[in-house]
Amino acid sequence: MREIEVKLKVNNFEELETRLKEKSCVLSEPISQRDVIYSLGGSTKGLANSKEGDVFIRIRYLKNTAQLNLKKQRSGEMDNIEYETEVVDPKATHLILTTLGWSPVLEVKKIRRKGKLGECEICLDQVEQLGTFVELERLVDDDVSPEEVKEELFTKLELLGLSRSDEETKGYDIQIYQRSNSNG
């Protein structure tokens, strides 16, 4: 499956939550997530200049569980082939990854609230070091046009009073890396 998403910077979560309630979107309780991002050989090249074909793996630590996720970039950072599975033993998974040559390169910590908006998943994120965002995503077949899906996602967000001019085209991991490596 292919995950296509749109991410916008948001200044007023309360107003967005009200509009989501009006659309019968029920948000989850806040979920604390800590993502450890791995790259092959510990290279940060993909974080500095990501491109089609780049692969990243993460272990996402939640309250009582963990998930292993692999993303392979397609046409842009918000368009990825994605595979995800629950992890029973995160420590063993870390050791497997490092034995295979993958190294942790950074962490992303956030509080997330999730919900459904039609066929889409919506996430309201408070990300350490970066601020507040909304993500709207759809899982689609590999042959679907990413531009058509992105346009559909933007339309849904605009109906919530948001503006595509607030789009953030980089993942949280890339933003954190670039922020920590700019200007010394």
pLDDT of residue 2: 85
Distance CA 26, CA 108 (A): 25
The CATH label, of 2.60.40.1120, 3.40.50.300, 3.40.50.2000, 2.40.320.10, for the domain at 2-180 is 2.40.320.10
Q: Which amino acid is at 48?
A: A
Return averaged pLDDT per consecutive 10 residues of the chain, 184 residues in all.
92 94 95 96 83 91 96 81 94 98 97 95 97 96 90 95 94 91 68
Query: Is the Cβ–Cβ distance between 84 and 67 less than 8 Å?
Result: yes
Q: Where are the domains of the chain?
A: 2-180
pLDDT of residue 183: 57
pLDDT of residue 110: 98
All residues at 6 or more sequence positions from 7 whose CB lies less than 8 Å from its CB, including other chains? 78, 133, 134, 135, 167, 168, 169
Distance CA 184, CA 179 (A): 10
